[in-house]
Amino acid sequence: MLSDAAYMERALLLAGRARGRTTPNPLVGAVVVTPDGVVAGAGCHERAGEPHAEIHALREAGAAARGATLYCTLEPCSHVGRTPPCVERILESGVARVVAAVEDPNPLVAGRGFLRLRQAGVIVDVGAGDAAARRLNRPFFSAMRRGRPYVIVKAVTSLDGRVAAAGGGPARLSSSATDRRTHALRAEVDAIAVGSGTMLADDPLLTVRGVFRGRPLTRVVFDRRLRTRASARVFSTLDAGPIVIVAGPGAPAGAARALESAGAHVVAAPGGLTDALRLLLPMGVQSVLVEGGPAVHAALWREGAADAVRLVVAPRALGEAGVPWVERAVAPWASWRHLAVEPSGGDVIIEADVHWTD
């Protein structure tokens, strides 16, 4: 018979299969193991409104669940949401023991599921695979505990740390292989975001291309003065998902009306980018890939709102006249953690945690 850690690892792998599909719910996997070590049932939560992972696993296990151990990557829910509480179904199944990776940070659960199980005589053990489970659900934990989405800063720089040619003109830096990986990441997050400078300089489409995405992608433009043009190319892609433009107080009303007529949803944030990010949670956004530009990235770091970074370094230089990325003093690279470096089509991709706390 395998260890709790081994069975939990299988549950975590199952949870990851639904990456990019479950928001506003977390990624959850579950495995039912009989007393003699046979996996009788397994499943993951596929998307919001559909059965939770525990339900899939228990249905597959059937009568074999009686006296078995249920491994789940997150505390089973104890409240009625879009689906009935999993705890009651677990009790009905006759499961004797529940092993959960981590407590659910949702205030509607937050230990109540464990309490209900223990009160009914079920053995509950918590902690197997906890670090991996938290990492898998960083967007969900950020939404629940920080009140804002999880933010990934993504930048493409030259060897000499530039993101654009002299004068701010666009410069083709990343390879086709790296671009495919960028679109794969876009397919997983809830939203991508840019600043008004990027909109004016690059006029991006902000869509997922070459990779399947089964739900709309929210596109966000941080634009305090509403400089985005109503003729921008992004407005030709409204079928890909909503376009949210976050303005500052006192932004021109006429510009707001023009952008709304083009198809945007214009909202005003009273403070900085952290306030703007908090406005996105009610829109179903728990993870944001912020792709540019340098001013937005610097502001995120100054406000402590950058959670992770994906930095692509291309094998060419743009020279001193090129537009630099964020200064080292603003984004202290030496403090990045869990650094991963990988080649990609001639480029180098650097991924790291800027900070990660519960």
Span 321-347, average pLDDT: 83
Q: What is the 3-state secondary structure (H, E, C) of 55-108?
A: HHHHHHHHHHHCCCEEEECCCCCCCCCCCCCHHHHHHHHCCCEEEECCCCCCCC
Q: Which of 9, 46, 54, 75 is catalytic?
A: 54
Confidence of residue 79 (pLDDT cuts 50, 70, 90): low
Task: Tell me 128's DSSP state.
Answer: T
Span 87-108, average pLDDT: 92
Whole-angstrom Cα distance, residue 210 to residue 25? 26
Confidence of residue 238 (pLDDT cuts 50, 70, 90): very high
Tell me the three state secondary structure of residue 211: coil
Span 320-331, average pLDDT: 79
The answer to whether residue 54 is catalytic is yes
Query: Which pLDDT score is estimated for 78?
Result: 80
Whole-angstrom Cα distance, residue 311 to residue 153? 8
What phi-psi label fits residue 173: left (phi over 0), alpha (psi between -120 and 50 degrees) or beta?
alpha
The chain-wide mean pLDDT, for the chain, equals: 91
Query: Which pLDDT score is estimated for 271?
Result: 86
Q: 103 near 70, Cβ under 8 Å?
A: no
Tell me the three state secondary structure of residue 310: strand
